[in-house]
Amino acid sequence: MTQESGGFAALNLHPTILAAVIATGYEEPSAIQQQSIPIILAGHDMIGQAQTGTGKTAAFALPILSLIDPTKREPQALILAPTRELALQVATAFETYAKQMPGVTVVAVYGGAPMGPQLKAIRNGAQIVVATPGRLCDHLRRDEKVLATVNHLVLDEADEMLKLGFMDDLEVIFKAMPETRQTVLFSATLPQSIRAIAERHLKDPKHVKIQSKTQTVTAIEQAHLLVHADQKTSAVLSLLEVEDFDALIMFVRTKQATLDLASALEAKGYKAAALNGDIAQNQRERVIDSLKDGRLDIVVATDVAARGLDVPRITHVFNVDMPYDPEAYVHRIGRTGRAGREGRALLLVTPRERRMLQVIERMTGQKIAEVRLPDSQAVLDARIKKLTNSLSPLVADAEASHGELLDRLTADIGCTPRALAAALLRKATNGQALTLSAIEKERPLVPNNAPRGDRPERPAGDRPDRGDRERRAPVPLAEGRARCRTALGARDGIAAKNLLGAILNEGGLAREAIGRIQVRDSFSLVELPEDGLERLLAKLKDTRVAGKQLKLRRYRED
């Protein structure tokens, strides 16, 4: 099947959209894209059941861009996403696919950023609005007509939105939009709460369900490291000290990051080069040839630039920036471990990216073990080992070839052979730290929310007694309610709306059935209906909130 007669060309996308897709290097649509694009182009409402990593962003972005009118300077499509990170990813995808559509503007609307520029972009006619529900409701309170012209609505990862407690916000958003809109809902699961939304707000929706394929990469040793975003370069340099690699490829998200990291590596003496979409094809070929023949040892690349890269020397892959989806992760680490050879892949994870780590583990069916930065002793041992390996081949005939020179230099300088050897070592190591204290100063800090073993313990006197914390909890119960306890609390990043959303989503309860929710530092209390409580707790048995098991149990107050 040729590109002209099949693939994306057969889906009746707008020619400029098709050209942008081809420019990204994609040739064949994924299953969710093949089934969803014609439905959305035809104007039908749709429910798509698909996991992250199946290509669902393009499944709704491509047809929506084909349907909007670039000459109309007004919001025409709204995409709702549960988190800031996903909203930014979706907005970036829309911008990529709209590159050849002059006049099309995309705005990402999320909390933690100034509201003024966001609202201004919407009022100035951004056709595509990608938003988190909470921040969008903030804008609606300022201007209730901000969504009046939107005729395409997409709910991306709807189940996650409910788990995060956005049910009320979604209802506010639905009411602020024209009833004649097209509504598309994507969700990995379809619990009763999602079905209820579909029944209320979608018109005769078409259903698309994609079975995800579990991907495994068994020949590659995988690990992840928790770091802060501004410590990535320091972490990479520390890891390179102890990793025994032949050739290595590092993946980052932006062209500028390839240049910055390659420069940092070169400054430390590594043979490194950048590979990104701005590099001409002939230069790209020279970089790859240099990696193959050993003139280069490290390439820092973006995903697009590394497509088709096959260099047998590559023993390691560093995911310096988190990939956008599991398929990209599998594609990246597949650059090593070729033809039955062993490979090693390291993934740097910032605290806010832990959720994507869990998605990758779930989709690949493999646990990615956590590792720590090498300690000062490990770095010192590695440096001395490399120095030993570089000097060992030279020792055998050194005395015969340079013995007389040694005698003359020690006599001329007036020093011992030991002092001269030490001076030559200092010159050879070029100021590299070779003591524990000096190496300790070079190490990046551990993130504040790293595993507890990496953080200083609070003095025992600073910790409230567990019994005291529990005794603060009871509040008189309303009749017909029972109080339940979960070990998840504020220190786990949990808020009351997270617990409410998860219970509504997985328990199938009405909002009024759930009473008071109390979130403490190390636990939370939730009031639930006494009638049918055991059945409800059984339904919630496998529920996860913020990536951790909810594990609700009846709370005994005696």
Task: Report the share of the chain in percent with pLDDT over 90.
Answer: 26
Residue keyed to tokens 């001076």:
423
Give dist(CA 87, CA 133) in Å, integer.
10
Q: Where are the beta strands (DSSP E) in 356-503?
A: 369-370, 481-486
Start-to-end Cα distance in the chain: 71
What is the reported pLDDT for 299? 94
Report the mean per-residue pLDDT for the chain. Answer: 81
Average the pLDDT over each of 106-110, 422-426, 474-478 and give the range with the smallest value.
474-478
Give dist(CA 216, CA 525) in Å, integer.
39
Average the pLDDT over each of 88-92, 212-216, 429-433, 528-532 and give the range with the smallest value.
212-216
Give dist(CA 469, CA 522) in Å, integer.
9
Residues of the chain with CATH 3.40.50.300: 7-209, 220-373
pLDDT tens digits along 135-194 = 999 999 888 888 999 999 999 988 888 877 888 899 999 999 999 999 999 988 888 888
Q: Is 374 left (phi over 0), alpha (psi -120 to 50) or beta?
A: beta
| 3-state helix vs strand vs coil in the chain, percent to 5 | 45, 15, 40
Task: Report the share of the chain in percent with pLDDT over 70.
Answer: 85
What is the reported pLDDT for 451? 41
Angle at CA of residue 500, ends 360 and 504, nearest 5°: 80
Give dist(CA 187, CA 195) in Å, integer.
11
What is the reported pLDDT for 488? 87
What is the reported pLDDT for 337? 72
Cross-strand partners of 317 = 249, 345
* Mean pLDDT of the 90-114 span: 89
The answer, yes or no, to whether residue 419 has pLDDT greater than 80, is yes
Residue 550 has which token pair? 């909810």
Stretch (H or E) spanning 78:
strand 77-80
What is the reported pLDDT for 443? 57
The answer, yes or no, to whether residue 94 has pLDDT greater than 90, is yes
Give dist(CA 549, CA 492) in Å, integer.
11
Cβ-contact 212, 242 below 8 angstroms: no
Cβ-contact 433, 376 below 8 angstroms: no
Angle at CA of residue 214, ends 211 and 219, nearest 5°: 165
What is the reported pLDDT for 460? 34
Residue 8 vs residue 442, higher pLDDT: 8
What is the reported pLDDT for 130? 96
Superfamily of domain 7-209: P-loop containing nucleotide triphosphate hydrolases (3.40.50.300)
The answer, yes or no, to whether residue 278 has pLDDT greater than 50, is yes
The answer, yes or no, to whether residue 509 has pLDDT greater than 50, is yes
What is the reported pLDDT for 456? 34
Residues of the chain with CATH 3.30.70.330: 465-554
Residue 489 vs residue 457, higher pLDDT: 489
| Cα–Cα distance list, 41 to 2, 60, 254, 469 (Å) | 23, 9, 31, 56
Of 71, 150, 63, nearest in space to 103 by CA: 71
Confidence of residue 248 (pLDDT cuts 50, 70, 90): very high
pLDDT tens digits along 406-416 = 888 888 888 88
Residue 555 has which token pair? 């709370």
Cβ-contact 160, 82 below 8 angstroms: yes
What is the reported pLDDT for 517? 87
Give dist(CA 149, CA 152) in Å, integer.
9
DSSP 405-434: HHHHHHHHHT--HHHHHHHHHHHHHTT---
What is the reported pLDDT for 431? 63
What is the reported pLDDT for 538? 85
Average the pLDDT over each of 186-190, 302-306, 465-469, 519-523 and give the range with the smallest value.
465-469
What is the reported pLDDT for 51? 66
Class of domain 465-554: alpha beta
Residue 547 vs residue 193, higher pLDDT: 193
What is the reported pLDDT for 438? 65
Confidence of residue 251 (pLDDT cuts 50, 70, 90): very high
Count of helices and strands (H, E) across the chain = 21, 20
At residue 439, φ and ψ (nearest 5 deg) are: -65, -35
Residue 183: strand, helix, or coil: strand
What is the reported pLDDT for 454? 38
Residues whose CB falls within 8 Å of the CB of residue 356, separated by 6 or more in sequence, listed in order: 85, 322
* Mean pLDDT of the 544-550 span: 80
Cβ-contact 533, 554 below 8 angstroms: yes
Cross-strand partners of 186 = 48
pLDDT tens digits along 298-343 = 999 987 666 667 788 899 999 999 887 777 788 788 888 765 567 8
* CATH tag, 220-373: 3.40.50.300
What is the reported pLDDT for 249? 94
Residues whose CB falls within 8 Å of the CB of residue 420, separated by 6 or more in sequence, listed in order: 406, 409, 410, 413
CA dihedral 109, 111, 117, 121 (to 10 degrees): 10
Residues whose CB falls within 8 Å of the CB of residue 181, separated by 6 or more in sequence, listed in order: 150, 151, 152, 153
What is the reported pLDDT for 284? 81
What is the reported pLDDT for 441? 63
Cross-strand partners of 316 = 248, 344
pLDDT tens digits along 8-55 = 888 888 888 888 887 776 767 888 899 999 999 999 999 998 766 567
* Mean pLDDT of the 341-350 span: 88
What is the reported pLDDT for 462? 34
Q: What's the distance, CA 223 to chain centroid?
A: 15
Angle at CA of residue 202, ends 197 and 203, nearest 5°: 150
The answer, yes or no, to whether residue 212 has pLDDT greater than 80, is no
Cβ-contact 488, 524 below 8 angstroms: yes
* Mean pLDDT of the 455-462 span: 35
The answer, yes or no, to whether residue 381 has pLDDT greater than 70, is yes
Q: Where are the beta strands (DSSP E) in 336-430?
A: 343-349, 369-370
Residues whose CB falls within 8 Å of the CB of residue 151, separated by 6 or more in sequence, listed in order: 76, 77, 178, 180, 181, 182
Other beta carbons within 10 angstroms of residue 235's beta carbon come to 21
The answer, yes or no, to whether residue 453 has pLDDT greater than 80, is no
The answer, yes or no, to whether residue 6 has pLDDT greater than 70, is no
| Whether pTM exceeds 0.75 | no
Give dist(CA 352, CA 349) in Å, integer.
8
Residue 120 has which token pair? 């201004």
Q: Would you say how long the chain is, in residues?
A: 558
What is the reported pLDDT for 558? 53
| Cα–Cα distance list, 160 to 32, 80, 296 (Å) | 19, 11, 44
* Mean pLDDT of the 266-283 span: 85
Of 96, 99, 117, nearest in space to 108 by CA: 117
What is the reported pLDDT for 507? 81
Residue 5 has which token pair? 């007669």
| Cα–Cα distance list, 102 to 17, 57, 94, 245, 355 (Å) | 12, 21, 13, 46, 35
Average the pLDDT over each of 437-446, 477-486, 534-543 and give the range with the smallest value.
437-446
